[in-house]
Amino acid sequence: ELKVEQNPLFLSMQEGKNYTIYCNYSTTSDRLYWYRQDPGKSLESLFVLLSNGAVKQEGRLMASLDTKARLSTLHITAAVHDLSATYFCAVYSGGGADGLTFGKGTHLIIQP
Amino acid sequence: EADIYQTPRYLVIGTGKKITLECSQTMGHDKMYWYQQDPGMELHLIHYSYGVNSTEKGDLSSESTVSRIRTEHFPLTLESARPSHTSQYLCASSALVTGATLQETQYFGPGTRLLVL
């Protein structure tokens, strides 16, 4: 059974600081996703990572994937208040049940 | 920009009522999904479909049922709602996006927040 673990689950940080969110998963997968969810809203796709060593960047967010370590990171550079949200990583299950297995999410608060 | 719609957005209903949550997408995606999300928690896959007349149960057991008669439409039905069904239900669809590498991205609808009294 595929398990996806994120840490930290809660993060409060100041504007201008850097931080990294970690996502570990338990079985081999060929796809990892990062999503953002604002309170009361749906999920917005941020990144799709497909191969070992993949790195993608969008603004102040950068995601990377190490398939051998089964680890993905979401790095935030010089955080701004607008990045406050919940960030989910999700791993493609494949096999009998198609769809994504989600981590519990990282609730990020960025304070001025 | 993904076009996936869910109605109603909010629903408060009494125990024992039958409800149908609607989901439709205009992108022609073959794959569609239903996820359940409790407040502040992760999403759990409850149903998915590969295309017309295809429905499968997901990782989380659910008393709901789904149907896929048309490509664009994937409704979820609860025959007899109970307070334990109170949650947010998110519909998603996906398709292969060909670029430098093949990608498959799931696009999510706005969700239906269900409260069963």
**Which pLDDT belongs to residue A94?**
66
**Which pLDDT belongs to residue A40?**
80
More confident residue, A79 or B40: A79
Is the CB of B50 inside 8 Å of chain A's CB atoms? yes
- pLDDT > 70: percent of chain A: 96
Instruction: Count Cβ neighbours within 10 Å for each residue of B69-93 and write b for 16 or more, e otherwise.
Output: eebbebbbebeebeeebbbbbbbbb
pLDDT grade, residue A52 (50/70/90)?
confident
Q: What is the mean pLDDT of residues B29-43?
A: 90
Which of A33-42, A94-103, B6-15 has the lowest average pLDDT?
A94-103
State whether A104 and B109 contact (CB < 8 Å).
Answer: no
pLDDT grade, residue B1 (50/70/90)?
low
Tokens of A84: 């406050």
Please state, in angstroms and as integers, the Cα–Cα distance from residue A112 to each residue in A8, A12, B4, B111, following that order: 20, 11, 35, 30
Which helix (H) or strand (E) segment holds residue A32: the answer is strand A32-37
State whether B33 and A42 contact (CB < 8 Å).
Answer: no
For the segment A60-97, what is each residue's pLDDT rounded down to a tens digit? Answer: 999 999 999 999 999 999 999 999 999 999 998 765 55
Tokens of A79: 């955080």
Which helix (H) or strand (E) segment holds residue A38: the answer is none
**Which pLDDT belongs to residue B85?**
95
Is the CB of B59 inside 8 Å of chain A's CB atoms? yes
Q: How many residues does chain B have?
A: 117
Give the nearest chain A residue to B113 (CA atoms).
Answer: A40
Look at residue A40 and give its three-state secondary structure: coil
Which residues in chain B (71-110) have CB-CB distances under 8 A to chain A?
A: 90, 101-110
State whether A43 and B104 contact (CB < 8 Å).
Answer: no
Q: Which of A39, A85, A90, A43 is nearest to A61 (CA)?
A: A85
